[in-house]
A and B are shown apart, each in its own frame.
Chain A
Amino acid sequence: MAKKMHETPLLDQLESGPWPSFVTGLKRLAKDNDMSVDLMGQLEASYRTKKGYWKGGTVGVFGYGGGVIPRFTELKENEKPVFPDAAEFHTLRVQPPAGMHYSSKLLRDLSNVWEKYGSGLIAFHGQSGDIMFQGVTTANVQPAFDEFNEMGFDLGGAGPALRTSMSCVGAARCEMSCYDEAKAMRTVINNNLDDMHRPALPYKFKFKFSGCPNDCVNAIQRSDMATIGTWRDNIQVNEKIAKEYMASHGMEKLMTDVIGLCPTKAITLKKIGEVSKAEGISSVAVDGTHAIQIENHSCVRCMHCLNVMPGALLPGKDRGVSIMVGGKGVLKIGATMGTMVIPFMKLDTDEDFEKLNELARNILDFFAENALEHERTGEMIDRIGLVNFLDGIGLEVDPNMILEPRNNPYVRMDGWDEEVEKWNERQAG
């Protein structure tokens, strides 16, 4: 039995209603966990005064410089914590299995460790993708970590460091998957753990891995280097499923939802006999008379028609990834999206994965050497320009990197002939 609960009239109001209540969960923990009793006390105080009462500090595990989020209470009277059993309430960020898969045994094992050393409160997951084991004293940080580590789990990133990564469910359960997302993520992150565990970068650096342009882990907006699955040959078709779609949805839906919403008007309705046999065309009959025809050279791989007709239309066979660099949140220049820097690279063989790893290392190194303090990659590119960034990491320019060419003459162009030469050489090569 734990100590007596504090009165929590405001939090109590979050127990009613149909959605699962974290307050009810905290109360369950508070039955035999003093830390949870006092956590509720402090949280209720926050609700009462509309103020937060945690401050950071320095807490870690032996051998690492990051991965623990220290929290000390600031709610004190006469220098003493008002809620002493939650005076230290640190979080361990732990990297989950790629794709966030768990066995029931693993969930129980993780829970048992956290019940033994911490508050018993766990978030699946934080916004960076960590399992967040919330609420532990400074003294218990090391033994809790040791047990997780013995189970095969490692701390994630915090501070100016390589951060914990995320990959979508991908190849494990999705027909849109264009590469092995988990393997790519583990290759890139697990080869660069020094930058995660010993924070020494200008600021945070995030990698994220989405299996297709639906970008279910939000890589373009939230990561410094986004790896997005794509393909460069023709969309694959399945006539049986296409006809099933047509039978259940009808011509109006096909015209409006599939053909009408294609952003580049790459899809047209044809009579079956009039379908083009040219290179770059996919087509599939949808009933006895009609077929849809897709001009793959106009398709931008947005995923819309594949989403509307799953299984009937599938990514091509020549799959790989696009790389985008510079996505980030608000601080300091405003949110920025990732910019296309590699339109396509294969990701099949071990050598391909090693190339991805080299690229990641190269970009990390360039960031480490050239970004200002507290500057994200996107801000650095904003400051130095994309061309200087490409120069720095050894990538050639490509028209897929822009929406439109410059519309002002304010640039010195006396290197024009050499640049044309380079372009011609690359085109010939």
Chain B
Amino acid sequence: MAEMRPPVESGIPDATPYMHPTMVKNYGKWVYHNHPKAGVLYHRAESGDEIWTVKAGTQRQMDVYTIRKLADIADEYADGYVRFTTRSNIEYMVTDGSKVEPLIKTLFENGFPVGGTANSVSMIAHTQGWLHCDIPGTDASGVVKALMDELYEEFINCEMPNRVKLSTSCCEINCGGQADIAIIVQHTKPPKINHDLVANVCERPSVVARCPVAAIRPALVNGKPSLEVDEKKCICCGACYPPCPPMQINDPEHSKIAIWVGGKNSNARSRPTFHKLVAAGLPNNVPRWPEVGEVVKKILNVYKADARPWERMADWIDRIGWPGFFEKTGLPFTKYHIDDWKGHRRTLNASAHIRF
């Protein structure tokens, strides 16, 4: 056997060689920014150096031809440098303001929408889904493509009261993260267990330990060591499925989609917040998930019309109250909206504060 090459444990590379020279030169010395138009940011450094950033949406899951096209555009307009945002938008930095409009034109012509800055609906943070995940309840790239088609105008314009960040997640683990509007799979039936496989595939004590409500216990089923689920206790979260694939939680009909709102990552004004459940029971309706798009657009339209400048989704709801949110959006309020998880009484209205 040939001698194996030991890895060079180099870790995170220094970004300096890959960073636009004007950013290297003025590193840590920026003093001002503004927002000339949707998709464009302007920054000025202490030295007087200026840089315009043009932001464009991508499909995140990119083929090498798309990447090479993006690289060609960087060479033509942006001195050969780009960066990506955490939401998979690409940013081109130009030091010559006259290049901004031709760059925007070229990006649009090549199918990359320019936008996603300031008060726009930004690209949806998303996960892997059926394309590559081992436990997905739905697809990720497809949901995002379908939704961003619907929200395209809100991406390329900046007409929202404040930033709107969206995320999608293909299971309740919620890899997509907290967001103003989060779209997350919600299973509604307990796992279906293949008892022939459990003993060989699953480390049973750790599966038992994973369950948040202690609904799983070891059992002999048809003479085989397996696991059983107390279906009255089961909250259908799917936590048992990753460590024990024979406990299939995904179901073409009963794995539904839920919508959560009011997550805020930033500390601006209020402390960061987690998103809250507002709608559920939406079908996993491939390939374009129209029912999900309808609810998301409904929420966005009401927010856009009703929120004041600088109010994020959470700030807006804080002002109008949850009864106001459900009334204005027309979304039904059910017993499932009332939390019963640990610490839930903090979420109840322990006051006589009521809006009429």
Contacts and interface: CB of A to CB of B under 8 A. Distances in A.
Interface of A: 10-11, 13-14, 16-23, 25-26, 28-29, 39, 43, 46-47, 49-56, 61-64, 69, 71, 89, 91, 95-108, 110-112, 114-115, 120-127, 129, 134, 142, 145-146, 149-150, 152-155, 165-166, 168-169, 171-175, 177, 180, 182, 185-186, 189-190, 193, 196-197, 213-218, 220-222, 238, 241, 253, 256-257, 261, 263, 300-304, 307-308, 310-311, 314, 329-335, 337, 373-374
A97 B12 contact: yes
Contacts of A51: 250, 252
15 contacts: A14-B288, A20-B113, A21-B145, A22-B59, A47-B287, A50-B284, A71-B134, A97-B14, A97-B18, A98-B13, A102-B83, A123-B61, A175-B33, A220-B272, A256-B309
A43 B130 CA distance: 6
Given A20-B59, A175-B32, A373 B71 contact: no
Contacts of A10: 286-287
Contacts of B178: 218, 221-222, 335
A64 B82 contact: no
Given A71-B132, A215-B266, 17 more contacts: A25-B61, A46-B130, A52-B130, A54-B132, A62-B4, A89-B132, A97-B15, A100-B83, A101-B15, A108-B71, A121-B62, A134-B132, A149-B10, A173-B93, A186-B11, A213-B267, A257-B310
A154 B251 CA distance: 38
| Residue among B17, B24, B34, B62 with most chain A CB within 10 A | B62
A120 B10 contact: no
A52 B250 CA distance: 8
B134 A54 contact: yes
Interface string B2-43: 001111111111110111100110011011111000000001
Contacts of B113: 18-20
Contacts of A173: 23, 30, 43, 51, 53, 93
A114 B4 CA distance: 21
B19 A374 contact: no
A114 B57 contact: no
B282 interface: no
B142 A63 contact: no
Dominant SS among interface residues on chain B? loop
Nearest to B65: A28
Contacts of A103: 17-18, 74, 80-81
Given A215-B272, A221-B178, A100 B27 contact: no
Contacts of B288: 13-14
B55 to A, nearest CB: 11
Contacts of B138: 50
Contacts of B133: 52, 54
A172 B27 contact: yes
Interface string B237-273: 1010000010000101001000000010111111010
B173 interface: yes
Given A14-B288, A172-B23, A154 B176 contact: no
A238 B127 CA distance: 42
A217 B84 CA distance: 12
A149 B4 CA distance: 14
A153 B10 contact: yes
B59 A19 contact: yes
B64 A14 contact: no
B68 A174 contact: no
Nearest to B238: A331
B173 A100 contact: no
Given A19-B152, A28-B65, A102-B83, A153 B13 contact: yes
B66 to A, nearest CB: 5
B70 to A, nearest CB: 7
B306 to A, nearest CB: 16
Contacts, number: 367
| Residue among A22, A100, A123, A220 with most chain B CB within 10 A | A22
Interface string B80-96: 11111110101001000
Contacts of B265: 215-216, 218, 220-221
A117 B133 CA distance: 21
Given A51-B250, A335-B174, A122 B67 contact: yes
Nearest to A36: B63
Nearest to A322: B267
B14 A56 contact: no
Given A20-B66, A124-B84, A215-B266, A95 B310 contact: no
Interface stretch (B97-105, B204-212, B222-230): B204-212
B111 interface: yes
A84 B10 CA distance: 35
B331 interface: no
Contacts of A311: 31-34, 44
Interface in B210-226: 210, 212
A190 B59 contact: no
A61 B148 CA distance: 37
A26 B136 CA distance: 20
Nearest to B82: A102
A44 to B, nearest CB: 10
Contacts of A110: 67
A25 B62 contact: yes
A154 B74 CA distance: 25
Contacts of A332: 210, 212, 239
A314 B31 CA distance: 8
B278 interface: no
Nearest to B147: A19
A125 B88 contact: yes
Contact of A334 (B4, B60, B209, B341): B341
Contacts of A18: 113, 149, 152
Nearest to A382: B342
B115 to A, nearest CB: 11
Contacts of B342: 333-334
B218 to A, nearest CB: 17
Contacts of B309: 253, 256-257
B59 A213 contact: no
B33 A127 contact: no
A140 B126 CA distance: 27
B229 to A, nearest CB: 16
Which 9 interchain pairs have the tightest Cβ spacing?
A311-B32, A17-B149, A190-B11, A25-B63, A50-B252, A46-B130, A104-B71, A213-B267, A97-B15
Given A19-B149, A149-B7, A175 B18 contact: no
A13 B286 CA distance: 10
A62 B1 CA distance: 13
Nearest to A194: B9
Interface string B135-163: 11111011001101100100000000000
